[in-house]
Chain A
Amino acid sequence: MAVDKFPIEASHIMMFARSVGDDNQIYFDEDYAQGTEPGSIIAPPTFAQSSAQFDPDYFLRPKVGEPWFGSGKEPTGIKRDSSGGGGGGGGGGGLHAEQHFEYHRHIKPGDVLTATVKPGETWEKEGKRSGKLVFSETVTEYRDQNGELVITARGVGVRTERPVDQ
């Protein structure tokens, strides 16, 4: 996702680390972190994905005044045709197939990143459990406040013809 300003904040890192069940003190205790090799709080390896919080248009976040496809009175707030749940995440929608990170340095509170996205390749495959699969790749470059490349991320999404058989 393209993001103009992704401020790296200590409380966000703490909450993210909690959510992946990681109680390593380096993610919340600055005094402890000063005595470690990195020398400060750093972000866990997959934290860059939470740049979604700073993408104003991120489609998987409910927005004020806009319909949302999750349930309320009805099982979905958006009526669609038979293509499934919609929003890129429904039964006929998109799933995350691959994710790759290259770390040029580890990010820390105080960094302010920008993320630029380049589309990558698209390819198709016939799946046994979900019909035709369409894969598409995006490459996201995260740069810091000095314009230095800090993380290169490559994601692959897949759209399935039908929900994956269990």
Chain B
Amino acid sequence: MALKAADLNVGDTYTECLVEDLKRTQIVQYAGASGDYNPLHTDEIFTVEVAKYPSVFAHGMLTMGMTGRMLTNYVGDGRLTKYGVRFTSQVWPGDTLNSTATVESVDDGLVDLKVETTNQDGSVVLSGYAQARVD
């Protein structure tokens, strides 16, 4: 179910809720699947007492992975040609994240999207771009 260039307009948006009340267990799942076992993400004692953060926090790549799900649901499977982000703020257990793709241009069979993921306070936690092939 790919997008059709003829149906797209600059400024169109697509939004998904990525996660409600992020659980520590999901962060553990991501550590196990990705292979990034940095204790900052799963070991509350280390993170609070040694690293001096208020609690464990999500891998940036978990937020990028969840945001990627929003993108592939929008543009279709196997359609992305580029996807890049900056991690602008940390994501904590308990956070609820929403992510939006906004059409910036449609040209030559490709759509360029602005991507932004925000938390329950409206703070931007991830900002970036994606490009995908359209019909």
Q: Is A124's beta carbon under 8 Å from chain B?
A: no
Q: Is A21's beta carbon under 8 Å from chain B?
A: yes
**Segment at the A interface, from B7-15, B51-59, B106-114:** B51-59
Contact of B32 among A15, A45, A163 (CB under 8 A): A15
Which chain B residue lies CB-closest to A12?
Answer: B33
Q: Interface readout for B82-115 with A: 1 if CB under 8 Å, 0 if not? A: 1111110010000000000000000000000000
Which chain B residue lies CB-closest to A68?
Answer: B39
The answer to whether B38 and A60 touch across the interface, beta carbons within 8 angstroms, is: yes
Which chain A residue lies CB-closest to B18?
Answer: A21
Q: Is B66's beta carbon under 8 Å from chain A?
A: yes
**Majority SS at the chain A contact face:** loop
Report the separation of the CA atoms of residues A26 and B81 in the bound assembly, to the nearest whole angstrom. 18
B78 contacts across to A, CB distance below 8 A: 36-38, 42, 106
A38 contacts across to B, CB distance below 8 A: 77-78
The answer to whether B68 and A96 touch across the interface, beta carbons within 8 angstroms, is: no
Report the separation of the CA atoms of residues A84 and B26 in the bound assembly, to the nearest whole angstrom. 26
B30 contacts across to A, CB distance below 8 A: 19-20
Q: Is B6's beta carbon under 8 Å from chain A?
A: no
The answer to whether A61 and B37 touch across the interface, beta carbons within 8 angstroms, is: yes
Q: Is B61's beta carbon under 8 Å from chain A?
A: yes
Q: Answer whether A45 and B68 are a contact pair too, CB < 8 Å, given A84-B51, A91-B50, A99-B60.
A: yes
The answer to whether A45 and B60 touch across the interface, beta carbons within 8 angstroms, is: no
- B132 CB to closest chain A CB, in angstroms? 10
A16 contacts across to B, CB distance below 8 A: 33-34, 65
Q: Is A4's beta carbon under 8 Å from chain B?
A: no
B71 contacts across to A, CB distance below 8 A: 45
The answer to whether A96 and B60 touch across the interface, beta carbons within 8 angstroms, is: yes
The answer to whether A91 and B33 touch across the interface, beta carbons within 8 angstroms, is: no
Q: Is B64's beta carbon under 8 Å from chain A?
A: yes
The answer to whether B77 and A71 touch across the interface, beta carbons within 8 angstroms, is: no
The answer to whether A61 and B35 touch across the interface, beta carbons within 8 angstroms, is: yes
B53 contacts across to A, CB distance below 8 A: 91, 163-164, 166
Contact of A24 among B52, B54, B59, B72 (CB under 8 A): B72
Q: Is A53's beta carbon under 8 Å from chain B?
A: yes
Report the separation of the CA atoms of residues A61 and B83 in the bound assembly, to the nearest whole angstrom. 26
Q: Is A46's beta carbon under 8 Å from chain B?
A: yes
Q: Is B29's beta carbon under 8 Å from chain A?
A: yes
The answer to whether A75 and B81 touch across the interface, beta carbons within 8 angstroms, is: no
B residues sitting closer than 8 Å to A (CB atoms) are 2, 18-19, 26, 29-30, 32-40, 42-43, 45-47, 49-54, 59-62, 64-66, 68-69, 71-73, 76-87, 90
